[in-house]
């Protein structure tokens, strides 16, 4: 067994082969086989320098890929912003004035010549109060409120009509309670969000209704489906009032912005640079705020839905 040692071969290192016998490796063989399996089936453990070099190379490659991804993300964002800026400039230069002259200005002139302000106030109030019951959108009426009455009186008109607009469908839907529940059971995944409004105490129901109103869930459909979730009327009413505030302000600002552009187009004068910047910044800030609140509402609804599923398990 010790034949390699007994022969007294000078040079090399004695190591065990796969059969358990000692053999000598020459210096060249040792260097060639170091760090892996040699031709004779011998294995020598890897050095710390090779492992550190491999780890450093992997970390450098990951950091470079992350850097490339970040640069590509910013490049796409810049391209998108540039495209939107060009699109906005084209709209303001050609599409906007044409649309204003042919559609918006004639409607505004007809409205001013036909209706007085008290009649317009009654129209806005009545449409916001009754249109949801008839499955008709009330956003154009909110635009009219912004164009005619501005933020103050426009907000008071709309917020005063909202309780009627959300109450009629609620009580009408209670007459078809079981039928609506049957429809919701056909789509359990979609209905799971609005069913959150019927869980917990009054405060939890109020919070859930407010978040649903802020989220992009269809406003008119929820008016009728809410009663099938066993939500109480008072949390439903106050949650609807609070949740609709962002949409009301966005609609009012849209109406004011349309009126400003229509006045500029009708009187054939160009808005000054500060006016354009102020209007665009205000509009973008309003839209961005609404989007942020909407995303937050969707996230909170998802968290509440997950918590409810954990409790059921």
Looking at residue 196, its pLDDT comes to 75
Query: In the chain, what percentage of residues exceed pLDDT 70?
Result: 64
Question: Do 22 and 103 share a domain, yes or no?
Answer: no
Q: At 312, is the pLDDT very low, low, confident or very high (cuts 50, 70, 90)?
A: low
Among 31-35, 46-50, 139-143, name the most confident range.
139-143
Whether residue 212 lies inside any domain: the answer is yes
Question: Do 145 and 33 share a domain, yes or no?
Answer: no
- List b or e across 73-100, with b for residues whose CB sees 16 or more CB atoms inside 10 angstroms: eeeeeeeeeeeeeeeeeeeeeeebbeeb
Report the pLDDT averaged over residues 175-190. Answer: 80
- Spatial distance between the Cα atoms of 28 and 297, rounded to a whole number of angstroms: 70
- Spatial distance between the Cα atoms of 81 and 72, rounded to a whole number of angstroms: 14
pTM: 0.62
Whether residue 289 lies inside any domain: the answer is yes
- Spatial distance between the Cα atoms of 266 and 101, rounded to a whole number of angstroms: 7
Looking at residue 95, its pLDDT comes to 67
Looking at residue 6, its pLDDT comes to 46
**Cα-Cα end-to-end distance for the chain:** 67
- Spatial distance between the Cα atoms of 299 and 304, rounded to a whole number of angstroms: 9
Question: Do 30 and 141 share a domain, yes or no?
Answer: no
276 vs 259, residue with greater confidence: 259
Report the pLDDT averaged over residues 192-212. Answer: 83
- Spatial distance between the Cα atoms of 43 and 224, rounded to a whole number of angstroms: 75
Question: Do 34 and 143 share a domain, yes or no?
Answer: no
Question: Do 44 and 104 share a domain, yes or no?
Answer: no
- Spatial distance between the Cα atoms of 274 and 261, rounded to a whole number of angstroms: 14
- Spatial distance between the Cα atoms of 73 and 266, rounded to a whole number of angstroms: 42
Residue span of the structural domain in which 13 resides: 1-52
Report the pLDDT averaged over residues 157-167. Answer: 94
Q: At 310, is the pLDDT very low, low, confident or very high (cuts 50, 70, 90)?
A: low
Whether residue 88 lies inside any domain: the answer is no
Whether residue 78 lies inside any domain: the answer is no
Question: Do 46 and 160 share a domain, yes or no?
Answer: no
- Spatial distance between the Cα atoms of 217 and 187, rounded to a whole number of angstroms: 15
Looking at residue 47, its pLDDT comes to 47
On average, the pLDDT of the chain sits at 75
Looking at residue 170, its pLDDT comes to 92
Q: At 163, is the pLDDT very low, low, confident or very high (cuts 50, 70, 90)?
A: very high
Whether residue 152 lies inside any domain: the answer is yes
Q: At 161, is the pLDDT very low, low, confident or very high (cuts 50, 70, 90)?
A: very high
Looking at residue 155, its pLDDT comes to 94
Least confident of 145-159, 167-181, 234-248, 276-290: 276-290
Residue 247 phi/psi, 5-degree rounding, is -65, -40
Q: How many CB atoms sit inside 10 A of residue 72's CB?
A: 10
32 vs 163, residue with greater confidence: 163
Per DSSP, the three-state class of 151 is helix
The answer to whether 216 touches 252, Cβ cutoff 8 Å, is no
Report the pLDDT averaged over residues 56-63. Answer: 59
How many structural domains are present in the chain? 2
Whether residue 191 lies inside any domain: the answer is yes
Question: Do 43 and 104 share a domain, yes or no?
Answer: no
Whether residue 207 lies inside any domain: the answer is yes
Whether residue 140 lies inside any domain: the answer is yes
- Spatial distance between the Cα atoms of 40 and 17, rounded to a whole number of angstroms: 7
Least confident of 24-38, 59-73, 119-133: 24-38
Residue 46: is its pLDDT beyond 50?
no
Query: DSSP secondary-structure letter at 93?
Result: I
Report pLDDT digits (tens) over 90-132: 766 666 666 666 767 677 777 777 888 899 999 999 999 999 9
Report pLDDT digits (tens) over 220-266: 888 888 888 888 999 999 999 999 998 898 899 888 888 877 777 66
Q: At 268, is the pLDDT very low, low, confident or very high (cuts 50, 70, 90)?
A: low
Looking at residue 157, its pLDDT comes to 93
Q: Which residue, 52, 67, 88, sits at the end of a domain?
A: 52
Question: Do 22 and 126 share a domain, yes or no?
Answer: no
Calculate the alpha carbon distances from 14 to 11, 21, 162 in Å. Answer: 9, 10, 93
Question: Do 19 and 123 share a domain, yes or no?
Answer: no
Q: At 311, is the pLDDT very low, low, confident or very high (cuts 50, 70, 90)?
A: low
């Amino acid at each position: 067994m010790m034949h390699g040692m007994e022969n007294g071969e000078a040079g090399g290192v004695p190591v065990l082969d796969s059969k358990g016998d000692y053999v000598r490796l020459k210096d060249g063989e040792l260097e060639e086989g170091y760090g892996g399996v040699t031709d004779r089936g011998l294995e020598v453990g890897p050095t710390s320098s090779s492992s550190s070099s491999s780890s450093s190379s992997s970390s450098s490659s990951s950091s470079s890929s992350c850097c490339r991804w970040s640069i590509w993300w910013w490049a796409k964002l810049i391209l998108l912003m540039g495209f939107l800026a060009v699109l906005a400039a084209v709209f303001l230069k050609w599409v906007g004035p044409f649309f204003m002259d042919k559609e918006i200005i004639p409607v505004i002139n007809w409205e001013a010549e036909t209706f007085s302000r008290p009649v317009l106030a009654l129209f806005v109030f009545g449409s916001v109060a009754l249109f949801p019951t008839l499955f008709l959108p009330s956003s154009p009426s909110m635009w009219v409120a912004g164009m005619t009455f501005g933020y103050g009186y426009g907000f008071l008109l709309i917020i005063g009509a909202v309780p009627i607009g959300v109450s009629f469908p609620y009580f009408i839907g209670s007459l078809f309670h079981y039928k609506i529940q049957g429809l919701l059971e056909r789509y359990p995944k979609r209905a799971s969000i609005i069913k959150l409004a019927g869980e917990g105490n009054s405060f939890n129901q109020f919070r859930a209704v407010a978040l649903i109103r802020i989220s992009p869930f269809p406003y008119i459909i929820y008016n009728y489906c809410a009663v099938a979730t066993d939500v109480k009327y008072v949390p439903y009413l106050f949650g609807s009032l609070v949740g609709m505030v962002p949409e009301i302000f966005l609609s009012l600002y849209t109406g004011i912005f349309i009126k400003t552009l229509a006045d500029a187009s009708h009187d054939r004068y160009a808005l000054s640079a500060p006016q354009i910047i102020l209007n665009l910044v205000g509009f973008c800030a309003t839209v961005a705020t609404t989007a942020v609140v909407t995303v937050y509402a969707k996230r909170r609804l998802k968290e509440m839905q997950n918590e409810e599923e954990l409790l059921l398990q």
